[in-house]
Structure formats: C-alpha cells, structure tokens
Amino acid sequence: MARPDKAAAVAELVDQFNESSGAVLTEYRGLTVKQLQDLRRSLGEHATYAVVKNTLTKIAAQEAGVEGFDDLLTGPTAIAFISGDVVEAAKGLRDFAKANPALVIKGGLLDGAALDASEVAKLADLESREVLLGKLAGGMLATLTQAAQLFNAPASQTARLAGALAAKLEQEAPAEA
C-alpha cells in the first residue's frame, strides 16, 4: 500500500469508523446512480453512504480495531456511516431496500460490535429515539401525578372531615338555642 491515494483513502475510512456510532454494509449491485442519490437523501443528514473498496476497508477496519467485519466485505460494497440516530438510518435503509430489492443489507456495526443482517432489521424495527423518550417522559409524568394524588389524599380527607364537622356543628347549634 505504497500509493499515497490509497493511504489517504484508508485514513479517511479509519476516521469514519472512529467517529461514527454505527455503520451498515450493503450490496448496491443493480442500483442506478439516481437510486443511489435517492438512498443518500433518505438516510438524512446524520449518515453518509459511500461505495468502498473491500481491501482498503479491511485494512481500515483493522486499524480502527473493528473485528468480525471481513466476511461481509465480499462483492460490491457500500457503507452507510451513521453519526446520529442509528435506528433512523437503519429504517431508511430497510425502507429503501423494500422499495428497491437490488439493495441488499449485509450487516453492520454498532458501538464496536458486529451485527448481521437480521440484527440490523431488528434495529430498524425499534421506535425512534424521540418516541422512546416521549414514552419514558409520559410514564414518569403519570407516576408523578399518581404520587401527587397520593400525597394530597390525606389533606383533602382532613379538609372534608373538618367541613363535615363544621356543618354538623351548625346544624346542632340552632337546635340548642
């Protein structure tokens, strides 16, 4: 690997492996240039999709400390490097693959662990980060509301009891006078 252009390509791939939170490997054989452009747009702004050379990617993966990746690097390969929400990008790839069967998801990488194609599909089936955070916030709010009602119950019972005693005293007071 004495050529400077190959060394630069490997260095760029190493940087992308280190900076991304996940990566998904695909086989793009049979897709047109326009379809690849549409795929890049569908991934959003937090993911990049690039066609890579398998040998250079193997070298870059070794330098980045990524293992379990070599068997996925066969045939024409492109990688979606994801820097944002991994679930959102996996959903974009899954949906695009449904609409364009020529795109084949080979596997991926999430936080340094290799994923096979079925695990990437499971990742795509998860709800988005925003939806999960909303559900968590709703659950916490419901719990806090229940706790507030529980803490207010003795005070409100005391107030009702005091009101009932006052009403009873008023009814008894005119009768005695």
Question: Locate tokens 């190493």: which residue?
Answer: 14
User: For 52-71, how does the pLDDT look when each residue is reduced to its tens digit (9 = 90+)?
Assistant: 888 888 888 888 888 777 77
- Report pLDDT for 95: 86
Host H or E run for residue 160: helix 129-176
Kindly list the domain boundaries of the chain, sorted by start residue.
Answer: 4-126, 127-177
DSSP track, 30-71: T--HHHHHHHHHHT-TTEEEEEE-HHHHHHHHHHHT--S-GG
Res. 168: pLDDT tops 80: yes
Q: Across residues 106-111, what is the average pLDDT?
A: 84
Angle (CA) 64-68-73 rounded to 5° is: 85
pTM > 0.75: yes or no: no
Q: What average pLDDT does the structure give for the chain?
A: 81
Q: What are phi and psi of 50, to 5 degrees?
A: -140, 140
**Band of residue 2 on the pLDDT scale cut at 50, 70, 90:** low
Structure tokens at 68: 């379990």
Residue type at 128 in one-letter notation? S
Res. 174: pLDDT tops 70: no
**Band of residue 97 on the pLDDT scale cut at 50, 70, 90:** confident
Q: Across residues 85-89, what is the average pLDDT?
A: 81
Res. 30: pLDDT tops 70: yes
Per CATH, which fold does 4-126 belong to? Alpha-Beta Plaits (3.30.70)
**Band of residue 175 on the pLDDT scale cut at 50, 70, 90:** low
Percentage of the residues of the chain whose pLDDT score is greater than 70: 94
- Report pLDDT for 161: 79
- E strand segments, the chain: 22-27, 47-52, 77-82, 104-110, 113-116
Higher pLDDT, 13 or 176: 13
